[in-house]
């Protein structure tokens, strides 16, 4: 969160998961349509490790699971939440936790414009890196270079998934104190900013 961004980097495996030998997921229960107890039990069963959940304090929309992929994909660290039926997407939008809602909103706006996109929910870098290469390249195909990664935390490490030419919307400073809505706008965590980055990525990679 921009107002207290110091808590978000704790999600990074180098700080938490390796040291504590546990799994840390940056997710949002309202997005998952699961209760806290069910979510924790399910993730622990699927991962075989102690599970800690980093949850949002924000009011977030509930995703329609008839339109979007099931939450079981979390057990693999990252999964395709929404995709195109027109072959390869023009751009991949990557989010973690509450940022996924921004990616989904922009995905829907792009669809309305006739532009194909993919939304990847990535709650755990550590688990994703432990998946077989074929799975990782299915989720993030190397041939698709137009990418936007969004996290209300440090941008450190996201270049691995956004790529050398991808866009990363994140925190470059410690943060500020102000009403949440004002901070989200100030730091670019808005559908407009994500859309702008997505369109620039598409233009940059289709020349």
pLDDT digit string, tens, across residues 49-70:
666 666 666 777 778 778 888 8
Pick the CATH number of 2-204 from 2.40.30.130, 3.60.21.10, 3.30.420.10, 3.40.50.920: 3.40.50.920
pLDDT digit string, tens, across residues 82-93:
999 888 999 999
Say yes or no to pLDDT of 189 above 90: no
pLDDT computed for residue 190 by the predictor: 87
pLDDT computed for residue 195 by the predictor: 96
Q: 188 — alpha (psi -120 to 50), left (phi > 0) or beta? A: left
Q: Which residues partner with 167 through β-bridges?
A: 148
Give the span between the Cα atoms of 142 and 150, in whole angstroms: 19
155, burial (CB in 10 Å: exposed 0-12, middle 13-18, buried 19+): middle
pLDDT band at 156 (very low <50, low <70, confident <90, very high): confident
CA-based end-to-end distance of the chain:
35
Per domain, the residue ranges of the chain are 2-204
Global pTM reads: 0.76
């Amino acid at each position: 969160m921009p107002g207290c961004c110091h808590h978000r980097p704790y999600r990074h495996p180098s700080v938490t998961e390796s040291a504590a030998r546990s799994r840390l997921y940056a997710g949002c229960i309202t997005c998952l349509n699961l209760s806290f107890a069910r979510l924790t039990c399910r993730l622990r069963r699927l991962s075989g490790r102690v599970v800690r959940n980093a949850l949002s304090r924000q009011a977030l929309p509930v995703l329609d699971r008839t339109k979007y992929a099931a939450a079981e994909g979390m057990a693999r660290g990252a999964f395709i939440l929404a995709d195109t039926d027109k072959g390869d997407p023009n751009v991949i939008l990557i989010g973690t936790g509450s940022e996924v809602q921004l990616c989904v909103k922009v995905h829907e706006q792009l669809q309305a414009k006739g532009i194909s996109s993919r939304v990847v929910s990535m709650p755990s870098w550590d688990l994703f890196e432990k998946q077989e290469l074929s799975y990782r390249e299915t989720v993030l195909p190397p041939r698709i270079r137009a990418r936007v990664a969004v996290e209300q935390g440090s941008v450190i490490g996201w270049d691995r998934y956004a790529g050398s030419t991808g866009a990363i919307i994140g925190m470059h400073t410690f943060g500020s104190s102000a009403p949440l809505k004002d901070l989200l706008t100030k730091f670019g965590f808005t559908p407009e900013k994500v859309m702008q980055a997505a369109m620039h990525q598409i233009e940059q990679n289709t020349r």
